[in-house]
Amino acid sequence: MSEVASDPGNTVADGVPKCPVDDCNLTVDVILRSSDGESFGAHQFNLECYSASFPPAASTTTNSPEEMTVELTETAAVLRLILQYMHNVRQPDLSKVSFLVLSSLAEAVEKYLVFSAIDVCKVFMDKLSKDDYPSEVLMYAAKHDYLDLADKAARLTLGKSDSEMVAAAEGLQAPALVILKWVGMHSLIPRVNLY
C-alpha cells in the first residue's frame, strides 16, 4: 500500500491514521484509539496473529474511521509499544521506557495475550523490582502467578508497613488475596516463603 509509506503525516486518507511502526506498508484496516485520545492505524491480520484476545473492530471492510475504531484503555505510549510487538520488526528497547509505561505494557500484554511481549516484560519487571518498585512488581507477579518473582519482590518489601502495602495494593487495584497473603505472612519472613 504505497500511499501509507509515502504519506508524510500521521493520516493516510479520510481520517484513517498511519501505522506507527516505521516503514510499515501493510494496509490499515483497523484503528486503535488510546485512552489519551491518540489514534493508530493497525492491521486486523496482525492483531489476530500476535494476540489471542484483542478486541475486534465493528468492521474492517469499511472506509468509515468510526466503524474501524476500537477504543482501548491503554495510553498512546503503551499502544505504540504493543503495535511494535505485533509486527515482524526489531522489538522495542524496554530499558528506555519509564516504569509507568513498562508496568502498563506488562499488564496490557497479559490482558491481550501478546505472547511475543509477555516474557520480556516479565524480565524487565524483575530487573526493576531490585530498584524502586518492589511493591508494584509484587502485585504484578502475584496477579499473574509468577511465584518466583513474587517471592523475590516480596522480600524487598520487608521494610514496609502493612498500611503501606495495603495502600500500594489499592492503588494498583491488586487482588485482595495478594495483600491478605502478604499481611498474613509478613511477620514470618524470612523463615518462610511468601508464595
Q: Does 26 bind Zn ion (CB under 5 A)?
A: yes
Count CB atoms within 10 A of the CB of residue 119.
Answer: 9
As measured in angstroms, the least distance from the Cβ of 87 to Zn ion is: 5
The three grid cell numbers given for residue 6, joined into one nine-digit string: 509515502
Q: Does 19 bind Zn ion (CB under 5 A)?
A: yes
As measured in angstroms, the least distance from the Cβ of 27 to Zn ion is: 9
Q: Which of 21, 150, 172, 174 lies at the binding interface for Zn ion (CB under 5 A)?
A: 21
Torsion-angle region of 23 (φ positive above 0: left; ψ -120 to 50: alpha; else: beta): left
List the interface residues with Zn ion, window 109-148 (CB under 5 A): none
As measured in angstroms, the least distance from the Cβ of 28 to Zn ion is: 7
Give the nearer residue to Zn ion in terms of CB position, either 18 or 152.
18
Residues whose CB falls within 8 Å of the CB of residue 171, separated by 6 or more in sequence, listed in order: none
Count CB atoms within 10 A of the CB of residue 45.
Answer: 14
Give the nearer residue to Zn ion in terms of CB position, either 7 or 151.
7
Residues 72 and 104 sit within 8 Å (Cβ to Cβ): no
What's the Cα-to-Cα distance from 48 to each of 57, 70, 112, 164, 174, rounded to whole Å?
12, 14, 10, 41, 29
Give the nearer residue to Zn ion in terms of CB position, either 43 or 122.
43
Q: Which of 24, 76, 165, 179 lies at the binding interface for Zn ion (CB under 5 A)?
A: 24
Q: Does 47 bind Zn ion (CB under 5 A)?
A: no
Residues 81 and 71 sit within 8 Å (Cβ to Cβ): no
Q: Does 7 bind Zn ion (CB under 5 A)?
A: no
Q: Does 12 bind Zn ion (CB under 5 A)?
A: no
Give the nearer residue to Zn ion in terms of CB position, either 14 or 145.
14
Using CB under 5 A, count the residues that bind Zn ion. Answer: 4
As measured in angstroms, the least distance from the Cβ of 86 to Zn ion is: 8
Residues whose CB falls within 8 Å of the CB of residue 105, separated by 6 or more in sequence, listed in order: 78, 81, 82, 94, 97, 117, 121
- Letter for the amino acid at 152? K
As measured in angstroms, the least distance from the Cβ of 83 to Zn ion is: 7
Binding site for Zn ion (CB under 5 A): 19, 21, 24, 26
